[in-house]
Amino acid sequence: MKSRMLLNLSLLAALAVLGAIAYFEPGKKEPAETPLTPVDIDKVDTLTLQQGDKTIVLAKKDGHWRLSAPFSAPANEFRARQLLEIAKATSDASYPLKPEELAKFELDKPIASLTVGDAVLIFGGADPINMRRYVRVGDTLHLVRDDFSRHLTAQATDYVDKKLLPEDARIQEIALPEWKARLGQDGKWVFEPQQEGGESNIGDLLANWQSARAIDIKHLDKPVGGPKLHIKLANGDPVDFVIVQREPELLLARQDCGLQYEVVGEPAKRLLSLNPKAAETKAETAAQPATPAPAAPQTEDGAEEIEAD
């Protein structure tokens, strides 16, 4: 009885080993993932996103992405990369596509098309069961896991870099409505008119500008008016803003790009003052009511008491 039990256990162990071998199939390679296109995205320098009658064009120059249509502006590098990587998305399945099948897959009226290098990707509807997107590349229909549609339907302003100044910007001159400052040849800042504590606070102001980011960007339909703000960079490039609004949010417009940047909270306060903390304290003090003088003591009949000498 005991020997039979041992034999059964041995057979079960052997079956388990054989099962594991059959399941894992040593030596068998996983099927290679098939990308939508063979494009080398690291060599691509132009992206064109077509959304119906709207066109967004991003071009790479000197290693940085910029929007060139529908307006010119520095592009968000991360979002440009996300568009690029759609061309390398894995195709879960592919089939030859016949012209009469375009409407079936909503490719006759696609949600968008994306040109990456020489490849054109056309995006149709989605598989209602597995929610995979139908993508046409040439005469081939691909089924792709859809985790990129939000990039295809984004507005042009969503692709703008939210930094107010270029990443490597070095400010050589800044002119606010109340004063201006320029970096002299001796490395010292010259203020017009002279600003109290200017030399000690200018470093913080410049750092705030170099790191400033908008929380939202809007396209301007027409020019706006307001006080001017001028910045000249070390490479000679000018950056000009119009101060549309200071409170409660700081709104800065760039007329050359047709864009309006919204900056909120503490970062907004640090862009228009050499010493925002001191300015806030001064404003709070001015807003406080004056302390009234103590009333003179009165007698029971209401007359003021007069101290005897």
1-48 per-position pLDDT tens digit: 545 554 444 544 444 434 433 433 444 333 457 899 999 999 999 999
Per-residue three-class SS string for 145-181: ECCCHHHHCCCHHHHECCECCCCCCCEEEEECCCCEE
> Mind listing the pLDDT tens digit for each residue in 139-162?
999 999 999 999 999 999 999 999
Q: Under a CB-based contact definition with an 8 Å cutoff, are residues 64 and 54 in contact?
A: no
Return d(Cα 228, Cα 253) in angstroms, integer. Answer: 10
Q: Under a CB-based contact definition with an 8 Å cutoff, are residues 85 and 47 in contact?
A: no
Give residue 4's pLDDT.
53
Supply 208's token pair: 């705030």
Give residue 18's pLDDT.
41
Give residue 288's pLDDT.
52
pTM for this entry: 0.74
Return d(Cα 206, Cα 152) in angstroms, integer. Answer: 36
Contacts of 37 (CB under 8 A, 6+ apart): 87, 88, 116, 119, 121, 137
State CA 267 to chain mean position distance.
16
Domain spans in the chain, listed from the N-terminal domain onward = 41-159, 171-283
Half-sphere exposure of 166 (CA within 13 A, CB side): 20
Q: What is the mean pLDDT of residues 185-195?
A: 93
High-pLDDT (> 70) share of the chain, %:
79
Q: Which residues on neighbouring strands pair with residue 203, listed in sequence order? A: none
CB burial of residue 182 (10 Å; 0-12, 13-18, 19+): middle
Sign of CA dihedral 251, 252, 256, 257: negative
Give residue 131's pLDDT.
83
Give residue 221's pLDDT.
85
> Mind listing the pLDDT tens digit for each residue in 229-265?
999 999 999 999 999 999 999 999 999 989 999 999 9
Q: What is the mean pLDDT of residues 219-227?
A: 92
pLDDT at 286 exceeding the cut of 90 = no
Give residue 32's pLDDT.
55
Q: Which residues of 44-59 are buried (b: 16+ CB within 10 A; e: fewer)?
A: beebbbbbeeeebbbb
The terminus-to-terminus CA distance of the chain in angstroms comes to 126
Sign of CA dihedral 6, 12, 17, 18: positive
Contacts of 8 (CB under 8 A, 6+ apart): none
> Mind listing the pLDDT tens digit for each residue in 62-79?
889 999 999 999 999 999
Supply 234's token pair: 């070390």
Q: What is the mean pLDDT of residues 207-226?
A: 94
Instruction: Compute how many other C-beta atoms are within 10 angstroms of the C-beta atom of residue 70.
Output: 14
Residue 271: closest CA among 304, 223, 299, 239: 239
